């Protein structure tokens, strides 16, 4: 591995390594307004939710790496203490990117980026009609993390009202990831679209104690075929079948007789997993040990 000491590398290079390693990052598309009434829109990807009770969202408006200046959003939240944070769907990507341009503070990014302003209910900044989720927030705190170029300024936001488009909800009223079609930020000029085949499911109940890798037979843990993701599905079972239970299954006995080696047997384990039959996969693994 390449080892990097943060004190021994230029900030701009460290910044890019962090951007490439910590991702995909959700985007806070932040609407603010200056004390004298100029609206501002800007995207921030040093952002996340951090608490649901109270509902806290935090984003950082960093001091610019190249010249240590600060951004209009930071000035506006210092002046007014309010912000609307929007979710960013794929359909908004390039209009949002226009709002990353450093227009003069007098410029209204709603007009530059072609977004439609909607009045908020609890705060002064406008909402972006095109976004599927609007979170009206008051700023509880602004915490500087340093004074040099590249230093973050944590903007700690308490959500006071949330608006969700009916278009992104399931019939039972939950947010459907395929419908909301979010994008996240990666390093450099890369983004990730959380949609279609990129979405996958891992159902893992936190209170179902999986047997773990350490309970898998030796041949499984050292499989020439099975991946960590495949073995983990078996390790997530709360109980493995006994050898007797496995060998009581005629299909398992037949599989053992047909296979010439562990690799062949583990290909059958893979097929069982692909069918979603984790119990059968477990029996094959146990019987083959």
67-126 residues near its own copies, rule: CB under 8 A: 87, 90-95, 97-98, 100-103, 111-114, 121
Min CB(257)–its own copies separation in Å: 29
> What does the alpha-carbon distance between residue 71 and residue 76 come to, in Å, rounded to a whole number?
9
DSSP 8-state assignment for residue 276: T
24: burial class by Cβ within 10 Å (0-12, 13-18, 19+)?
A: middle
> What does the alpha-carbon distance between residue 120 and residue 50 come to, in Å, rounded to a whole number?
23
Alpha carbon of 187 to those of 7, 22, 59, 62, 162: distances in Å? 21, 8, 17, 16, 29
Q: Which of 38, 138, 142, 164 binds its own copies (CB under 8 A)?
A: 164
Residues 6+ apart with CB under 8 A from 250: none
Cβ–Cβ under 8 Å, residues 152 and 189 = no
Min CB(11)–its own copies separation in Å: 4
Q: Which of 38, 138, 142, 151 binds its own copies (CB under 8 A)?
A: 151
Site string for its own copies, 242-271 (x = CB under 8 A): ------------------------------
Is position 191 an interface residue for its own copies (rule: CB under 8 A)? Answer: yes
- Nearer residue to its own copies within complex by CB, 18 or 38: 18
Is position 38 an interface residue for its own copies (rule: CB under 8 A)? Answer: no
Q: Which of 35, 79, 227, 275 binds its own copies (CB under 8 A)?
A: 227
Tokens of 203: 């159902």
Is position 25 an interface residue for its own copies (rule: CB under 8 A)? Answer: yes
Q: Which stretch binds its own copies (CB under 8 A): 31-39, 200-208, 243-251, 278-286?
A: 200-208
Q: Which of 34, 38, 55, 75 binds its own copies (CB under 8 A)?
A: 55
- Count CB neighbours of 35 within 10 A: 10
Is position 239 an interface residue for its own copies (rule: CB under 8 A)? Answer: no
Min CB(78)–its own copies separation in Å: 18
Q: Which of 35, 79, 105, 162 binds its own copies (CB under 8 A)?
A: 162
Secondary element (H or E) of residue 28: strand 28-33
Min CB(120)–its own copies separation in Å: 11
Cβ–Cβ under 8 Å, residues 217 and 261 = no
């Amino acid at each position: 591995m390449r080892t990097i000491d943060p004190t021994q590398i230029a900030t701009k290079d460290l910044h890019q390594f962090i951007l490439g390693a910590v991702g995909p990052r959700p985007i806070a598309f932040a609407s603010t307004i200056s004390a004298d009434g100029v609206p501002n829109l800007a995207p921030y990807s040093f952002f996340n939710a951090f608490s649901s009770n109270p509902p806290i969202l935090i984003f950082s408006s960093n001091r610019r790496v190249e010249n240590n200046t600060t951004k209009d959003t930071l000035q506006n939240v210092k002046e007014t203490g309010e912000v609307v944070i929007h979710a960013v769907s794929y359909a908004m990507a390039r209009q949002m990117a226009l709002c990353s341009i450093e227009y003069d503070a007098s410029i209204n990014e709603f007009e530059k980026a072609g977004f439609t302003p909607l009045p908020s209910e609890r705060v002064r900044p406008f909402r972006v009609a095109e976004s599927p989720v609007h979170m009206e927030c008051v700023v509880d705190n602004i915490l500087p993390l340093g004074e040099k170029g590249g230093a973050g300024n944590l903007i700690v936001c308490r959500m006071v009202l949330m608006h969700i488009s009916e278009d992104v909800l399931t019939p039972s009223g939950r947010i459907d990831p395929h419908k909301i079609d979010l994008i996240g930020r990666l390093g450099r000029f890369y983004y990730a679209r959380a949609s279609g085949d990129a979405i996958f499911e891992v159902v893992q109940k936190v209170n179902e104690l999986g047997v773990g890798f350490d309970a898998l037979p030796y041949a499984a843990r050292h499989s020439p075929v099975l991946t960590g993701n495949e073995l983990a599905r078996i390790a997530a079972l709360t109980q493995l079948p006994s050898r007797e239970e496995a060998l009581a299954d005629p299909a398992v006995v037949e599989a053992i007789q047909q296979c010439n080696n562990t690799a062949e047997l583990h290909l059958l384990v893979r097929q069982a997993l692909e069918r979603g039959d984790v119990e059968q996969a477990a029996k094959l693994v146990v019987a083959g040990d």
